[in-house]
Structure 1
């Protein structure tokens, strides 16, 4: 895992340093009191922070599904050490839609705890998907340090196109020698009547046509058309793809190829595939269910690859295009290389059928008269290409409620401190109120964007507002400083907690635990500020005691900076 400091750590260091140094410079004890909770949280949080240890295992209930089906992915977590907050994000490829479960998710794990998360997806689009890249982000209890890790737990999911309903198939012009469901022109064993001929030695008795024999006074036998299969080659053009939104010509061509291959294989024909594009792929003709899976697997891996190389039919190996094969070409007629290759096939005598996957539904003319003119010229060019084929043959045409609530609580706390300081100020109350209102506005901006620097500026502003209010009342630290310091600390905790919800919202159980922890921190802040105030005395408006506190704070701040630098150096070495 890679360890790094969170923005909260940097902000708390800045707030502690500003509070203690400003207290030393301006001889105001309330500034030191405001910085005390932040300094203590930094010291305790960094002292007890440790690297988490979580094991992740993924399991899919099925590896092959059809479009529209739903699958379940189980994520098993095994915590070897306690984790105060663990954020888990599973990369979901496009084409899969989350039906149930939460992704990303934030939760808390105790030592030795095992947690099973179930995510249910709907396969909205065909394709070969790779599930399992899991991103983990763990935070310590104080939220000062974080650890990131990406786990490659690859699970392959293959979503096959759902076959479309085909009313009629294009019948091949020629058949092959193997038995099938096609009525051949040749005579042989079959069911379709072909002709009559005189009886010859070796003919079967059951083939004698007794009615014709009685009329002609001699034995005549029936001849039948042989039942053979055909070779069908699906020629897929993958040079170009016209796309708009979530659909394109390549998607439609692949869906059509999958449906055609299934129907021809059901009719016992041999089906092959030629993927003619930037990357050339092919499958020799085959039969039965195994060939169907081979074709669909090859279609799932089809993609557009940019290539400027001119390719012709001669690049295909011998046997890929058998003689007398029916070639079904699925193309948007956008690339000249495909147009030339198909004309070459037709010139060589192949039974060619061009199925145009029209790009017009996904194409729009550019705005203006010139765009309309260019669009019309492009359509005329397509008509010219169709004419070439017609001469060669015939063409068949997340914000969450938790984040909002935490943000509102932080803003309300800062606003309360600002209003309280304005009421307690002896002079310049409007200036104190204006400074507090500016801090509230800056906090709202920092939570909405979100912007950690804006949060730091807001907290500095509200601390300055309270310090100005206390300055108008003399040199002693007023009793309200206890509540003001604790309120500013709680507002900071709420604000950074709200920022964490922007990426991954907490689970209800984790929310309850963190709320209890925040209550304990608020009580601790009240106790710390009260103790520091009692140690300084209400009239500690400068002098040796305050300077000693400032010097100790400077030494502690230097030690904290050295500790952070050492931690960063250790992380870089790892």
Structure 2
């Protein structure tokens, strides 16, 4: 950016010239004295004229941060110059200072701001307007910086409770199975049989009892975890700063994925709508990062999607979490269909608190009857949840990382519970 003369420099030059001419014409020494400050400022401005322009840059251009972090945004200009920078207000985010405007003359030329997103998502910050002025106030340049993109990953705290895996599928994970095989957990010590590996021989028991004894181990298995998300609609409560159904769904998916990736399981995501999209099955820390990155790019805005994209196929024994407000009949039917396909299904209710309750009626206009309609919708939904629980499908409301603890612990304990045999 090139510097241009300010109005202050022009006024100083005009006033110095005019007062000097009048002092000579009328022989007025006082007018000459009045012209001295203007002349000094005009000379200072001419002597301190910047020889080249200044490049104003904003950093970082692109940044990815976890939810709850504050991003430090810096605008670099000419050192020792007065810089005025103004950022526009961003929805669901705050600036420090609160107005997004700062006037400062730092020695290093760097003006710093704090950008604090309120929730996960992708924030496109419009270019900032700036004006840089030299110390004499005689030269200035103005323009706009480049825009900034801030991607906020949803919080991925690990769930409280066990794994909830009643029937592991694979042979390489950390869920202990009831079956004998290669593993690290001791099942029993028994006598040697043909086919047993020599490295399993327990020499202490053998030397004490005589016959050769071996250690029998429990296999360690992994499972497939499928997280089904309902993004057909984003249910927003009356308070626009409150958590929406999409907020709860995204945070639930991040926590569930982080939890089961830690067990060594394979985690996949299937979207019944179009806001998030599918995520292929994978395991390890890389899969956890991929899930958080995809969730951070989920679209908050856009048209609602009325057609449910069913899960195409599923292996028997897959652990399925369906995160949904559970308002649509098609989504409720999908829960039942997955259960009939042999999956272990858990419903995660992400409907915002208070939506459809009696207290929520007063937030609507009296003549609209929307409050009564939501109340009837809530009653129909609660009746459907009662029928789902009667079918053996647990449905629990999402209230943070401890929401699923009781369900997971109960399911995990069910695999070691005694079975009642049938008399023959």
Sort the TM-score into its range (normalised by shorter chain).
Answer: 0.5 to 0.7
Q: How does 1:409-428 map to 2 (within 5 A)?
A: none
Q: Structure 1's 396 and 222: CA in aligned 2 closer, same or farther, altered over 3 A? A: farther
- SS where residue 119 of structure 2 aligns? coil
Partner of 1:300: 296
Q: Structure 1's 359 and 395: CA in aligned 2 closer, same or farther, altered over 3 A? A: same
TM norm structure 2: 0.64
Partner of 1:334: 327
- TM-superposed CA distance for 1:262, in Å, is 1.3
- Answer yes or no: is the 8 Å Cα contact 2:180–2:216 preserved in 1: yes
Q: How does 1:164-183 map to 2 (within 5 A)?
A: 164=157, 166-183=159-176
Q: Structure 1's 341 and 248: CA in aligned 2 closer, same or farther, altered over 3 A? A: same
Partner of 2:382: 383
How far apart, in 2, do the equivalents of 1:55 and 1:336 lie?
58
- SS where residue 77 of structure 2 aligns? strand
Partner of 1:161: 154
- TM-superposed CA distance for 1:149, in Å, is 6.2
| 1:366 aligns with one of 361, 366, 369 | 361
- SS where residue 297 of structure 1 aligns? helix
Structure 2 unpaired stretches of 5+: 2-52, 134-140, 397-424
- SS where residue 164 of structure 2 aligns? coil
Higher relative contact order (CA 8 A, sep 6+): 1
Partner of 1:76: 76
- Alignment deviations for residues 281-302 of structure 1 (CA, whole Å, 9 cap, x no partner): 1111211221111100111122
Following TM superposition, the consecutive aligned residue runs of length 4 or more in structure 1 with deviations greater than 6 angstroms are: 209-217, 368-372
- The structure whose Rg is larger is 1
Answering whether residue 131 of structure 2 is matched by residue 134 of structure 1, we say no
- Answer yes or no: is the 8 Å Cα contact 1:365–1:372 preserved in 2: yes
Larger relative helix fraction: 1
How far apart, in 2, do the equivalents of 1:221 and 1:196 lie?
6
Root mean square deviation of aligned Cα = 4.1
Partner of 1:267: 263
Answering whether residue 346 of structure 2 is matched by residue 349 of structure 1, we say no
Structure 1 unpaired stretches of 5+: 2-52, 140-146, 398-574
Q: How does 1:23-422 map to 2 (within 5 A)?
A: 55-60=55-60, 63-77=63-77, 88-100=85-97, 103-105=100-102, 115-135=109-129, 153-164=146-157, 166-194=159-187, 198-205=191-198, 207-208=200-201, 219=212, 221-244=214-237, 245-246=240-241, 247-279=243-275, 281-304=277-300, 305-313=302-310, 316=312, 321-363=314-356, 364-367=359-362, 374-397=373-396
Partner of 1:416: none
How far apart, in 2, do the equivalents of 1:96 and 1:343 lie?
40
How far apart, in 1, do the equivalents of 2:329 and 2:96 lie?
43
How far apart, in 2, do the equivalents of 1:299 and 1:196 lie?
48
- Answer yes or no: is the 8 Å Cα contact 2:273–2:305 preserved in 1: no
